[in-house]
Amino acid sequence: MGMTQANEIRNRINTLNYNQEYNAAIFDDIANRETIKKTLQRSQHIIAKTSTKKFYRLYLENHTEPMPYSISDTQDKVKFDPKEYTFNTFWQTSRPSIQSVSAIIRNYLAAMNPKDIQILCKNFGRNRVKRELIQKYKELYTQGYINIKGMEIPLEGRYDRNPAFREILGMINDC
C-alpha cells in the first residue's frame, strides 16, 4: 500500500460534507479496493455504517462548522429508566433520568451483558449500537491504552481484531 495513496484518501475525507453518506467508490480514482479498505478501516475521521458499507465524515469538536449534521447524535437526550435493563449502570440515581443516548449505549456495551445489548438494539437500533461500539474502540486505540482503575493496559494492533470488540459485535449482530 503506497503511503501517498493513503494520504490522498485521508485528504479527500477531510473535504467531504459532514451530513452526507458516502461509499468507498469515491476513492476508486486514487487506489485499488484493498488499499481503500485498509485506509478506511484505520481512519479516525469517519463514522462507519458497517451493515451498509457506507460512512459519514466524523465531526470533531474543534471544527468551525456550528451544525455539521442535521441531527447531532451525541446531543440526543432521552429518558432513561434503569428498570428496563438487568442492572443500573448509572449508579448516581436509581430513578428515571435524562441521559445521552451515547452514554447509555456505551455504559451497557461495557457491561457486555447480552440481554442488555438486545434491549439497546430494540431501543436505539442495531446500527446505532454498532456505530457506538466502533467509535468507542477507535477512540481507545487512538489513545493507545485502556485505563482500568488507574492501571493503563496498552492496546496494540487493530481495534476490529480485539477479542472483546468481536464478542460485543457478535452480540449486536445477534439482535
- Cell numbers 477507535 label which residue? 138
Q: Which residue has the higher pLDDT, 117 or 35?
A: 117
- pLDDT tens per residue, range 57-87: 776 555 554 444 434 444 578 888 889 999 8
- pLDDT tens per residue, range 13-31: 888 877 677 888 888 888 8
Written as nine digits, the cell of 91 is 449508579
> What is the identity of the amino acid at 76?
D
pLDDT given at position 67? 43
Domain boundaries, the chain: 3-57, 73-173
Whether residue 104 contacts residue 73, with contact meaning beta carbons closer than 8 Å, is answered with no
User: Residue 34's pLDDT band (boundaries 50, 70, 90)?
Assistant: confident
Cα-only R_g, the chain: 18
Tally DSSP H helices, then E strands, for the chain.
6, 7
